[in-house]
Structure 1
Amino acid sequence: MNTMRVLVAGATGYLGQYLVRELKSRGFWVRVLIRKKTQKDKFKNIDDVFIGQITEPNSIKGITNNIDWVFSSIGITRQKDGMTYMDVDYQGNSNLLKEALKDRVEAFQYISAINGDKLRHLKIFQAKEKFVDELKNSGIHYCVLRPNGFFSDMKDFLNMAKTGRVFLFGDGKLKLNPIHGEDLAKVCVDKIIMGVKEESVGGVDILTQNELAKLALKAWQKPEKIIHLPDWTRRFTIWFLRTFTSSKTYGPIEFFLTAMALDNIANPYGTNRLEDFFNFEVKRMKGK
Structure 2
Amino acid sequence: MKKILIAGATGYLGKHLIAELQERQLPFQAIARNPKKLEHFQLPAEALIRAEVTQPATLRGQLAGIDTLISTVGITRQKDGLTYMNVDYQANLNLMEEAKRAGVRQFIYISAINGRQMRHLKIMAAKERFVDALMASGLEYQIVRPNGFFSDMTDFLGMAKGGRVYLFGNGNYKLNPIHGRDLAKTIIDEMGSSATELEVGGPDILTQNEIAALALKAVGRPPKILHLPDWSRRLLIWLMRTFTSSKTYGPYEFFLTMMAQDNVAPRYGVERLEHFFRKEADEL
Same structural fold, with TM-score higher than 0.5 when normalized by the shorter chain: yes
Which amino acid in the other structure matches residue 282 of structure 1? Answer: A
Between the two proteins, the alignment pairs up a number of residues equal to 283
- Shift of residue 25, structure 1, vs aligned partner: 1.9
- Shift of residue 216, structure 1, vs aligned partner: 0.3
| Residue-by-residue CA offset, 1:195-249 (whole Å, 9 max, x unaligned) | 3210211000100000000000000000000000000000000000000000000
Cα distance in 1, alignment partners of residues 205 and 152 from structure 2: 16
Corresponding position: 1:96 with 2:115: no
Cα distance in 2, alignment partners of residues 29 and 101 from structure 1: 20
Corresponding position: 1:17 with 2:15: yes
| Residue-by-residue CA offset, 1:103-122 (whole Å, 9 max, x unaligned) | 11010100000111110000
- Shift of residue 4, structure 1, vs aligned partner: 1.6
Match of 2:235 in 1: 236
Q: Is the 8 A contact 1:172 1:208 kept in 2?
A: yes
Relative to 1, partners in 2 of residues 1:96 and 1:246: Cα closer, same or farther, differing over 3 Å?
same
Which amino acid in the other structure matches residue 2 of structure 2? Answer: M
Cα distance in 2, alignment partners of residues 42 and 181 from structure 1: 18
| Residue-by-residue CA offset, 1:155-176 (whole Å, 9 max, x unaligned) | 1111111100000000000000
Match of 2:4 in 1: 6
| Residue-by-residue CA offset, 1:101-153 (whole Å, 9 max, x unaligned) | 00110101000001111100000000000000000000101000100000000
Identity among equivalent positions (%) equals 55
Which among 24, 28, 32 is matched to residue 26 of structure 2?
28
Match of 2:64 in 1: 65
Match of 1:110 in 2: 109
Which amino acid in the other structure matches residue 224 of structure 2? Answer: K
Residues 46-85 of structure 1 mapped to structure 2, 5 A cutoff: 46=44, 47-85=46-84
Unaligned residue ranges in structure 1 (runs of 5+): none
Describe the SS at the equivalent of 2:66.
coil
Residues 119-130 of structure 1 mapped to structure 2, 5 A cutoff: 119-130=118-129
Q: Under a length normalisation based on structure 2, what TM-score does the superposition of the two structures give?
A: 0.98
Match of 2:249 in 1: 250
Match of 1:273 in 2: 272
Cα distance in 2, alignment partners of residues 101 and 7 from structure 1: 14
Cα distance in 1, alignment partners of residues 6 and 232 from structure 2: 40
Unaligned residue ranges in structure 2 (runs of 5+): none
Q: Is the 8 A contact 1:143 1:191 kept in 2?
A: no
Relative to 1, partners in 2 of residues 1:148 and 1:40: Cα closer, same or farther, differing over 3 Å?
closer
Corresponding position: 1:182 with 2:173: no
Which amino acid in the other structure matches residue 43 of structure 1? Answer: F
- Shift of residue 85, structure 1, vs aligned partner: 0.3
Describe the SS at the equivalent of 1:146.
strand
Which amino acid in the other structure matches residue 214 of structure 2? Answer: L
Q: Is the 8 A contact 2:10 2:38 kept in 1?
A: no
